[in-house]
């Protein structure tokens, strides 16, 4: 019967989509978490963002077959989510970042004092990065992910590759000034 065949076909297709989605979660959940954490600096917020990203994928799972590069596509989704969350959230105090970094950064071979000093240093760097203009800051943060080439960063940000390079150049210059003279760029 045709209706029965269609129902069976729909069910099989739905099962295949769910398996594909589960495979994406297994493969990219960690990467997406790191991207989210680099912006939000908070573990639970970053995990929430990852879950939201996959929920969006679930809602548009019919388009999964049309995606050329799932990794860049997923990073772009989670990137937009975390930027949106960051815009809506209040500015976190630097002390929160220090505490969070002190908790999550690897501490092998470090004393408690060294670990605290390292966390403070990293938080200071992040605070300087936060003062960069948005476009330069985004390129700089994404360029820290070694698995992302400049072409892929351009795809995530929906700009050209040359824009990525020029923004990265400007970001480095501005960051050098900020690290030398904090709070001088607004």
Partner 1 sequence: MSLSPQNDADRNASVIDAERTLRLIATLPAPEGIADRVKSRLQDAPRKAGVIAWPSSVSGARWTQFAAMRAAAAAAIVIAVAGGAWELYTHIQIAPEPSAVATPQRMDGGHGGLSAAGAVRKPQTLDGPVVAAPAKSDEDKSDELLPKGNGAKPAGKKVRTPGLTQR
Q: Does 145 bind partner 1 (CB under 8 A)?
A: yes
DSSP 12-37: HHHHHHHHHHHHHHHHHHHHHHHHHH
Smallest distance, partner 1 to C-beta of residue 15, A: 12
Taking Cα atoms as reference points, which of 111, 141, 117, 133 lies closest to residue 40? 141
Q: What is the largest CA-CA distance in the chain?
A: 76
Among 34, 92, 135, 165, binds partner 1 (CB under 8 A): 34
Q: Does 47 bind partner 1 (CB under 8 A)?
A: yes
Size of the site for partner 1 (CB under 8 A): 46
End-to-end, the C-alpha distance of the chain in Å comes to 69
Smallest distance, partner 1 to C-beta of residue 71, A: 15
What CA–CA distances, in Å, run from 107 to 48, 115, 119, 149? 25, 6, 10, 29
Q: Does 128 bind partner 1 (CB under 8 A)?
A: yes
Q: Who's near 173: CB < 8 A, 6+ residues apart?
A: none
Q: Which two tokens stand for residue 161?
A: 């590759």
Q: Segment near partner 1 (CB under 8 A), from 67-75, 77-85, 152-160, 173-181?
A: 173-181
Smallest distance, partner 1 to C-beta of residue 98, A: 13
**Separation between Cα atoms, residue 86 and residue 88, nearest integer Å:** 5
Q: Which two tokens stand for residue 49?
A: 């963002």
Q: Does 2 bind partner 1 (CB under 8 A)?
A: no
| Residue where the block lists tokens 């930027």 | 83
Q: Does 49 bind partner 1 (CB under 8 A)?
A: no
Q: Does 89 bind partner 1 (CB under 8 A)?
A: no
- CB nearer to partner 1: pick between 125 and 185: 125
Residues that bind partner 1 (CB under 8 A): 1, 3-4, 7-8, 11, 21-22, 25-26, 29-30, 33-35, 37-38, 41, 43, 47, 50-51, 54-55, 58-59, 101, 104-105, 121-122, 125-126, 128-129, 140-141, 143-146, 172, 175-176, 179-180
């Amino acid at each position: 019967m045709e209706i029965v065949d269609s129902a069976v076909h729909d069910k099989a297709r739905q099962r295949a989509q769910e398996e594909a989605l589960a495979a994406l979660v297994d493969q990219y959940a960690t990467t997406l978490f790191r991207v989210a954490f680099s912006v939000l600096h908070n573990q639970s917020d970053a995990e929430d963002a990852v879950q939201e990203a996959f929920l969006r994928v679930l809602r548009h799972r019919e388009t999964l077959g049309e995606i050329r590069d799932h990794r860049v596509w997923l990073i772009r989704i989670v990137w937009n989510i975390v930027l949106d969350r960051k815009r809506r959230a209040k500015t976190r105090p630097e002390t929160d970042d220090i505490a969070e970094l002190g908790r999550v950064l690897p501490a092998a071979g470090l004393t408690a004092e060294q670990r605290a000093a390292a966390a403070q240093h990293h938080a200071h760097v992040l605070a300087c990065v936060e003062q960069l203009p948005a476009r330069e800051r985004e390129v700089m943060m994404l360029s820290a992910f070694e698995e992302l080439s400049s072409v892929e960063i351009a795809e995530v940000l929906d700009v050209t590759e040359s824009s990525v390079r020029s923004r990265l150049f400007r970001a480095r210059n501005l960051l050098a000034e900020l690290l030398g003279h904090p709070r001088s760029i607004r």
